Amino acid sequence: MVIGYTAGVYDLFHIGHLNLLKNAKGMCDKLVVGVTVDELVSYKGKKAMIPFEDRIEIVRSIKYVDAAVPQYNMDKLEACKKLNAQILFVGDDWYGTDKWKAYEKEFEEAGIKIVYFPYTKGTSSTQIRKALNYIRKDTLEDVK
């Protein structure tokens, strides 16, 4: 049985998230998804709009996901080892970065393959958040 793992915040769930999960499930027998806990979201200097309990329930309910687990730290290699995952799935926005070149060596030594999926251009939680903030700002100015 091939176990795959991916992780993310999954805030403001969108088609890019769904594409990643669908493509990942197509390459493994069991897909385990780490959902970043609220405390860890702050590593990016951000705050999730949707609480962790809701985000993990949304991810858990997706038909491509076999299990959803809390992600308490950024150590994906540790998570893969703990789950006996043979494949880590990530977006290709990380591909070729110094950080991920180093990860590739560590994962290869552990016998875990990293698969990069194309980032869904034009869609991201950051863009959705910016649009919502813009709309909120306009709405507040209209009320004044």
Expressed in percent and rounded to 5, the helix, strand and coil fractions of the chain are 50, 20, 35
- Tally Cβ neighbours within 10 Å of residue 39: 9
61: tokens are: 């309910």
Q: What is the dihedral of CA 107, 34, 24, 103, to 10 degrees?
A: -20
Is position 121 annotated as part of the catalytic site?
A: no
d(CA 128, CA 105): 34
Q: Choose, from 30, 44, 76, 101, the residue flagged as catalytic.
A: 44
Catalytic (active site) residue 44 = yes
Which listed residue (30, 46, 105, 137) is catalytic? 46
Residues designated as active site: 44, 46
